């Protein structure tokens, strides 16, 4: 084969490859419930299969796709599988996946108006839809980022800039012991030391206590420190707990503190009435992280940060090098490259926009409600058995439980590994106040009750076998 030095295919070749890939994706979706929820070979085995010399010559697409399917994708969890209940699943949807293919196929640059006016205009619309859903004022703005970690980093960079003028000395941020690790990492990246993070113990329902926060902030002020930010949870990863957002926002306003809300997985619940009731006060956040690649059914990577004062984004991130002078001409032009950390950025807004347009909000609302209902169904199923007992009841699509006769961490590790190895379903453990527990996150709207029953039956069998043999 002579080298294809233009890296170009003719229309027939493109169609053949494109249709083959679409067929593979459609077939994967059709057969998903019959495939293992997760599977992985060992690192040496995968290294053996995939390591090869840098290929000097190209090879056929059939061979490449076969290798991707057999060695790569078969060794990746199916986070949109109806029985994938571990961590925070990513139920995704086909329209979102096709939107990614479109954005990539048209190679849309979403960093500046001059190169991507249509993309910027559509991102503004989609961000405004998120703003409306979250009840934030018209002054609010936002940006799509890769996920919750980047959304938290972006929100906290804004807090540092707005509240501290970027001077971190003596500043203190407050968070609960249930806060996602990405928040600590973001604070570290932003130059805060561990001693500048005040971690507060939570109440019986794993929520931040405002009295404790008030006492800690008062103590720090009188010691000459500079409290500047509170990070609240709108759905913790561990149990789905929601901090008292309305009370926290009043406290932050009175004390002149920035309120960043991590709603990476839980904020999507504002779509439905029961979620809105649980999330009361969300609308008062100064910055808010939400992850469409979780409970808004988008493929990776789709994160979003909303900011009460939208103008702060450019105020914090904008720099004006001479080689970008041409992008800063029109006063009304919107350059998302000025509003976040990335200059070159893909067109992430398209997938959420297309999904909402195609299915409509009513369908998405029902899909979110389903997540609540499935966790409640799982809770009811667990309560019926004698083998397991509930630790935290269904909340925002999460339920945690323990085995009634086994408590050590090793037992749960073996149980989680045993479930994963069987492939039927995938769930994970976590630790609550020193106790290892099992956890189901049920936000996939295509999960049915039979999936829950099969999963719990299998779990019971495995646990009984382990206790019997142990």
Residues in the site for ligand PLP, rule: CB under 6 A?
Answer: 88, 147-149, 152, 180, 182, 237, 262, 264-265, 291, 303
Which two structure tokens, joined as six digits, stand for 401? 């439980």
Q: Closest Cα to residue 286, out of 302, 305, 268, 304? A: 305
Torsion 274-275-276-277 (CA) sign: positive
Distance CA 377, CA 290 (A): 26
Shortest separation between residue 262's beta carbon and ligand PLP, angstroms = 5
Render the burial of 85-108: b for 16+ CB within 10 Å, e for the rest: bbbbbbbbbebbbbbbeebeeeeb
CB 334 within 8 A of CB 111: no
**C-beta of 123 vs 262, nearer to ligand PLP:** 262
Shortest separation between residue 419's beta carbon and ligand PLP, angstroms = 20
Shortest separation between residue 29's beta carbon and ligand PLP, angstroms = 22
Partners of 426 in the β-ladder = 84
**C-beta of 262 vs 283, nearer to ligand PLP:** 262
**C-beta of 251 vs 295, nearer to ligand PLP:** 295
**C-beta of 239 vs 455, nearer to ligand PLP:** 239
**C-beta of 196 vs 430, nearer to ligand PLP:** 430
Number of H helices, E strands in the chain: 14, 11
Shortest separation between residue 459's beta carbon and ligand PLP, angstroms = 22
Q: Closest Cα to residue 233, out of 264, 262, 267? A: 262
Instruction: Centre a 10 Å sphere on the Cβ of residue 201 and count the other Cβ atoms it contains.
Output: 12
> CA of 285: how far to CAs of 53, 160, 261, 277, in Å?
52, 15, 6, 16
**C-beta of 88 vs 334, nearer to ligand PLP:** 88
Shortest separation between residue 266's beta carbon and ligand PLP, angstroms = 7
**C-beta of 182 vs 335, nearer to ligand PLP:** 182
Partners of 142 in the β-ladder = 306
Shortest separation between residue 263's beta carbon and ligand PLP, angstroms = 7
Shortest separation between residue 361's beta carbon and ligand PLP, angstroms = 23
Shortest separation between residue 194's beta carbon and ligand PLP, angstroms = 19
**C-beta of 120 vs 190, nearer to ligand PLP:** 190
Shortest separation between residue 114's beta carbon and ligand PLP, angstroms = 30
Residues in Cβ contact with 327 at an 8 Å cutoff, skipping those fewer than 6 apart: 112, 113, 114, 115, 333, 335, 337
**C-beta of 112 vs 287, nearer to ligand PLP:** 287
Distance CA 203, CA 240 (A): 14
Q: In what order do the strands lie in the sheet with 303-307?
A: 141-145, 303-307, 287-290, 258-263, 226-233, 171-176, 197-200
Residues in Cβ contact with 145 at an 8 Å cutoff, skipping those fewer than 6 apart: 151, 154, 303, 304, 305, 340, 341, 342, 348
Distance CA 175, CA 18 (A): 47
Shortest separation between residue 90's beta carbon and ligand PLP, angstroms = 9
**C-beta of 251 vs 265, nearer to ligand PLP:** 265
Shortest separation between residue 182's beta carbon and ligand PLP, angstroms = 4
**C-beta of 227 vs 266, nearer to ligand PLP:** 266
Question: Measured at CB, which residue is nearest to ligand PLP?
Answer: 148
When computed from its CA atoms, the radius of gyration of the chain, rounded to whole angstroms, is: 24
Shortest separation between residue 296's beta carbon and ligand PLP, angstroms = 12
Partners of 259 in the β-ladder = 230
Which two structure tokens, joined as six digits, stand for 313? 């984004």
- Apex 342 CA angle, 339 and 343, nearest 5: 85
Distance CA 27, CA 24 (A): 5
**C-beta of 91 vs 147, nearer to ligand PLP:** 147
């Amino acid at each position: 084969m002579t080298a294809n030095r233009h890296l170009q295919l003719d229309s027939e070749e493109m169609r053949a490859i494109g249709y083959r890939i679409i067929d593979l994706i459609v077939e994967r979706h059709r057969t998903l419930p019959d495939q293992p929820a997760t599977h992985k070979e060992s690192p040496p085995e995968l290294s053996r299969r995939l390591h090869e010399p840098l290929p000097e010559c190209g090879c056929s697409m059939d061979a490449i796709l076969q290798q991707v399917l057999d060695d790569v994708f078969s060794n990746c969890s199916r986070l949109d599988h109806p029985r994938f209940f571990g961590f925070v699943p990513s139920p995704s949807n086909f329209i979102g996946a096709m939107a990614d293919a479109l954005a990539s196929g048209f190679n849309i640059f979403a960093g500046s108006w001059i190169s991507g006016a249509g993309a910027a205009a559509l991102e503004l619309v989609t961000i405004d839809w998120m703003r409306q859903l979250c009840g934030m004022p018209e002054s609010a703005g936002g940006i799509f980022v890769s996920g919750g970690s980047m959304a938290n980093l972006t929100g906290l960079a804004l807090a540092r800039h707005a509240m501290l003028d970027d001077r971190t000395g003596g500043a203190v941020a407050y968070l609960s012991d249930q806060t996602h690790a990405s928040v600590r990492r973001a604070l570290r990246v932003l130059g805060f030391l561990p001693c500048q993070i005040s971690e507060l113990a939570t109440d019986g329902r794993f929520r931040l206590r405002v009295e404790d926060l008030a006492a800690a902030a008062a103590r720090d002020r009188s010691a000459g420190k500079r409290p500047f930010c509170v990070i609240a949870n709108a759905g913790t990863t561990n149990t789905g707990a929601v901090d008292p957002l309305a009370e926290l926002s009043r406290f932050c306003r009175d004390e002149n503190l920035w309120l960043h809300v991590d709603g990476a997985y839980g904020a999507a619940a504002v779509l439905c009435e029961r979620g809105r009731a649980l999330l009361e006060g969300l609308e008062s956040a100064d910055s808010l992280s939400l992850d469409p690649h979780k409970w808004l059914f988008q493929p990776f990577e789709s994160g979003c940060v909303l900011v009460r004062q939208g103008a702060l984004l450019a105020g914090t991130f904008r720099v004006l090098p001479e080689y970008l002078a041409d992008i800063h001409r029109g006063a009304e032009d919107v350059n998302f490259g000025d509003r976040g950390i990335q200059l070159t950025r893909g067109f992430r807004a398209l997938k959420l926009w297309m999904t909402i347009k195609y299915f409509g909000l009513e369908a998405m609302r029902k899909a979110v409600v389903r997540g609540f209902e499935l966790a409640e169904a799982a809770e009811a199923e667990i309560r019926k058995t004698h083998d397991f007992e509930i630790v935290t009841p269904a909340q925002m699509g999460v339920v945690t439980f323990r085995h009634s006769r086994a408590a050590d961490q090793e037992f749960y590790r073996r149980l989680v590994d045993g479930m994963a190895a069987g492939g039927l379903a995938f769930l994970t453990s976590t630790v609550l106040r020193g106790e290892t527990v099992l956890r189901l996150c049920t936000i996939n709207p295509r999960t049915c009750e039979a999936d829950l029953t099969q999963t719990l039956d299998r779990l019971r069998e495995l646990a009984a076998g382990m206790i019997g043999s142990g």
